[in-house]
Amino acid sequence: MAWTCQSVLLPPVTLSTTAAEVFSIQMNLPPDVEAEIDYRGAPPTDVRKRPDFHYYRECFIPTEGHFPLLSKELLRSSTLSGPDLASFPRLLQDELSKLREQGVLGNVVLLRQSIHAFVKQKLDSGEFSQPMEIAFAPRGYSREK
């Protein structure tokens, strides 16, 4: 399986854009995959065609708008309004990128605190040694708990 790489659960990070926490896992990918993501994962060159383009590629959750889901989750707990609300996705995208560069945010973003807590509990108990092992465990396993 392509995803049997090392991974680490990172502590929550509190955003300045909105007073909310973001939860993440760092997957240490093979160098050729990292290089390919750099090659293909850049934003569109002509932003005039996509002025509303908001895409935080480090989420690494393809399709179905993971980034919009993350924005929505964070906005739910915020008190932003007016222009701040409209510019929030862009501000969030910029802040997440900076946190990623600083190494405090992983490349797989979790949408809910409950998932982070569940993964942490499984790691602390010694049942699993790496967070992505839990993500790849058969779903029946997590439902039984």
Partner 1 sequence: MEKVFISMNAEGHLVIKPAGEHRAEQVAEASSDANPVSKRLSKSGVLDSRGRLKLPADVRRFLRGDDDPA
Residues of this chain that interact with partner 1 (CB under 8 A) are 2-3, 27, 29, 32-33, 35-42, 57, 59-64, 66, 69, 108-112, 114-115, 117-118, 135-136, 139, 142-143, 145
50 is written with which tokens?
């996509």
Nearer to partner 1 by C-beta: 19 or 35? 35
Beta strands in 1-145 (DSSP E): 7-14, 21-27, 108-110
| Least CB distance to partner 1 at residue 30 (A) | 9
The minimum distance between CB 53 and partner 1, in angstroms, equals 12
DSSP code at position 3 = T
For residue 71, what is the DSSP state?
A: H
Nearest to 23 by CA among 103, 102, 129, 105: 105
Q: How far is the C-alpha of 18 from the C-alpha of 80, rounded, in Å?
A: 8
Which residue's CB is nearer to partner 1, number 84 or number 141? 141
Shortest CB 82 distance to partner 1, Å: 29
Q: How far is the CB of 89 from partner 1 (least distance, A)?
A: 17
Rounded Cα–Cα distance for residues 40 and 72 (Å): 26
Nearer to partner 1 (CB atom), residue 27 or residue 99? 27
Residue closer to partner 1 by CB (options 61, 80) is: 61
For 107, phi then psi, to 5°, come to -90, -5
